[in-house]
A and B are shown apart, each in its own frame.
Chain A
Amino acid sequence: MAYMLTILTTTLITMISVVGVYLLTGMTGMFSLGQAAFMAIGAYASGLLVTKVGMAFPLACIVAVALSVGVGWLIGMPTVRLRRDYISLATLGFGEAVAALLNKATKLTGGASGFVGIPAITTFPMVLISTIVIIAMVAMFKNSKFGRQCSAIRCDELAAKAMGINVPWIKMVVFLFSVAVTAYSGCLYAFYTTYVDPSLFGWKKSADWVIMVFFGGSGSLTGSILATIILTGLPEALRFLSDYRSIFYAALVLLILNFKPSGLLNTWELTPRNIKSLFHRTDDVTGSMPTKKPMKN
C-alpha cells in the first residue's frame, strides 16, 4: 500500500510539471527543453533555504518559485520574440548550463553525488491538494482572455499579431506561469524524496513532459492529465520488462504520432457539458469522441 502511495505521489508531482508544460506547449505551441532545469532550481533553492538558512518550508517555496520566475524572465526576454525553434534550443542550452553549474558548485549542492539531508515535509494530501489547485488554476487560465489569446497564437502567430495581440507579452506571461508551476513541483519533489542530484533534471525529462502533452492530445488539459497517468504508470506496470521499457514507450508514442497525430483526446475536455453530450450523442454524426465542440462561456 505504501508502495502504491509512493507511485501515486510521484505521479501527481509529475502531473504538476506536465500541466506546466501543457500551458506552454499545448496552449501556446512553444517548446521548452529546459523546463526540468526550472524544476531543479525550485528543488535546489527551496532545499538550500530550508537546510542552510533555516527558512520555513512554505516561505522557502515562495522564494524558490520567485527565483525561478526571475531566471525565467532573463531566459525568456531574448527568446520569446523569436521563432519557436529558438525557444527550444535556447532552453535546452539553459538546462545543460544549469546542470553543469549544479555539478560544479560542490560545496553548496553536493555536486554530482547529490544534495542530501532535505527534510521529508511533503505529504500525499499536500501534493493532492496542490495538484487540484494548480489544475483548477490552469483550467481557469485556459478559459480566460489570456487563454484564448494563447490559442490564437498557437493556431497562427501571424494572424494573432494582426488581430492586435501582443504576442511576445502573452508568450512571456505563459512562459513565466509555466516556470512557476514547474518550480513548485520541484519544491514538492525535493521535500518528498529528500534527495536530488543534477542528473534528475536533464533535457530528456523536459522532453518526456512534452511527449506526454502530445500523447494526450495537444489541445486538451484532460488529455495531458490522462497521458501522465498512462505514461508514468506504464513504466511501473512494465517493470518486468525493465530493459525494453524505454523502447516500448518510444514505440508507443511513435505509433500514436504516426497514426493518431492529434493525440488521445485531441481538444476534448472533461467538462460537465461534454460529459452530458457523451451520453446523449444524437447530434454527433461522426460518432467519434474527439470532435471539436464550440466553447461557450
Chain B
Amino acid sequence: MSLQIIINGLALGSVYALIATGFALIFNVLKFSNFAHGAMMTCGAFVGYFLAAGKGFGLFPTILISMIAGGVIGIGGEFIAFKRIIANHSSHIYFFVSSITLGTLLEGIVTLKVGANFYNYPRFFKVATINIGNIIISKSDAMMFCFSTMALLLLWYIIRYTKQGRAIRSVSFDRDTASLMGINVESVILITFFVSGALAGLAGVFLGINYTLYPTLGSLVVKGFIASVIGGLGSLPGAIIGAVFLGLLETLLIHTVGSGYAPALTFSVMLIFLLVRPQGISGSNIQEKA
C-alpha cells in the first residue's frame, strides 16, 4: 500500500466518519437506525450549494451555515416524525418506518426545489493540489480531513466533559432512569438530533465539494451504515474506526480491482464481520433488554 493510497483513504474515511458518527449518535441515544440521515445530508449539501454558488459565500461561512441548517432540519425532523412515537413509547419498528418516510419527504422537497439535475460546487481553491515529492494531496481532501477531525474532537470533548454530554450519555444508557434523575430527556433528544443533523450537514457539504450534487446524493449514507456495522452499532469510537477502515479499504480496492467491484467486496467484508465478530470492532454490543 503506497502512501498515496493511505492519504486518499484517510480523506475518504474522514467523511465516512462524519456520516457514521451522526448516524451512531442517534442510534446510541434512541436505539434506532435513522434512515433519514442521508436525506439530511442532501439537504445540508444543497443549502451549502445555494450559499456558495448563489450568494457567493466563502468556504467557512458556507460550512458553518450548512451545519446550523442541518441541525435545524434534524430538530424539525424529530418534531414531524419522531416526537409522538417517542412520547408513546412505541415499538422501535415505528421509528424505522418513520425515518424512512421522513427521508422520502426531505428528498421529495429537495427534488421539488432543484429538479433532477446535477450541480457542481464552485471551486474554493485556486490551486487544487499540493505536491510533496511524488505525492499529490488534494486541498479539498486535506481540508475535509482537518475539519472532520476537528468536528469529531469537539464532539468527543462535549460528550466526555460537559454537563450536556453527561446527560446524553445517561439518556443513552437508560432513558427512564435518566428522567427520574432530573434530566430533561426531551431536550437531550433535541440536542442529539441537532448535533446529528449538523454532522450530516457538514458531511453533505464535503460530499458536495468532492462529488457532483444531485437530489439522491443521500444514498452515499450506505457507506456510513456499513462503517457503523463494522465498528459496532451505536458506538461512537467504533463508528470512527469503522469509517477510517472502510475508507482505506475502499481506496485500496478501487485501486486494485476497480470501482465496479469495490462495493461488492466491501459488502462481503461487512458480512464476514457480522459472521465472525457481530459486535463490531469496538466490541460494545447493544443487548436487547429482557
Q: B-contacting residues of A (Cβ < 8 Å)?
A: 29, 31, 33, 74-75, 77-79, 81-83, 85-86, 88-90, 92-94, 96-98, 100-101, 103-104, 157-158, 202-204, 207, 210-211, 214, 218, 243-247, 249-251, 253-254, 257-259, 261
Distance of A259 Cα from B94 Cα, bound (Å): 12
Whether A254 contacts B105 by the Cβ 8 Å rule is yes
Given the contacts A93-B226, A97-B267, A246-B108, A257 and B278 also touching, CB distance less than 8 Å: no
Contacts of A96 in B (CB 8 A): 219, 222, 263, 267
- Is B33's CB under 8 angstroms from A85's CB? yes
Cβ-defined partner of A89 (8 Å) among B219, B225, B258, B286? B225
Residues of A near B112 (CB, < 8 A) are: 243-244, 247
CB atoms of A207 and B33 under 8 A apart: no
* Pair B101/A158 contact, Cβ less than 8 Å: no
B90 at the interface (CB under 8 A from A): yes
Chain A interface, DSSP helix/strand/loop, else mixed: helix
Residues of B within 8 A of A (CB): 27, 32-33, 35, 80-81, 84-85, 88, 90, 93-94, 96-98, 100-102, 104-105, 107-109, 111-112, 219, 222, 225-226, 228-229, 233, 258, 260-264, 266-268, 270-271, 274-275, 278, 286, 288, 290
Across the interface, which residues of A come within 8 angstroms of B233, CB to CB? Answer: 83, 85-86, 89
Contact partners of A210 in chain B: CB under 8 A? 96-97, 100
The listed residue with most A CB atoms (<10 A of its CB), out of B81, B101, B102, B267, is B101
Q: Which residue of A lies closest to B107 (CB)?
A: A246
CB of A153, distance to nearest CB on chain B (Å): 12
Known: A75-B271, A158-B288. A100 touches B102 (CB 8 A): no
Q: Give the docked Cα–Cα distance between A182 and B27 (Å).
A: 30
Taking A31-B96, A82-B274, A257-B81 as known contacts, 8 extra A-B pairs with beta carbons closer than 8 A to each other, sorted by chain A number, are A31-B93, A74-B271, A83-B286, A97-B268, A203-B219, A214-B97, A247-B112, A257-B98
CB pair B267–A94 under 8 Å, yes or no, is yes
**Do residues A257 and B94 form an inter-chain contact, with CB atoms below 8 A?**
yes
CB nearest to B27 among chain A residues: A85
Q: Hey, which chain B residues are within 8 Å of A75, CB to CB?
A: 271
Cβ contacts under 8 Å, A246 to chain B: 104-105, 107-108, 111
CB distance from A113 to the nearest CB of B (A): 15
Distance, CA A61 to CA B94, complexed state (A): 35
A261→B94 contact, CB < 8 A: yes
Check A89 against B33 for contact (C-beta < 8 Å). Answer: yes
Bound together, the chains give a CA A34 to CA B77 distance in angstroms of 25
> For residue A81, which residues in chain B have a CB less than 8 angstroms away from its CB?
278
From residue A249, how far is it (CB to closest CB) to chain B in Å?
Answer: 7
B229 lies within 8 A of A211 (CB): no
A257 and B97 within 8 A (CB): yes
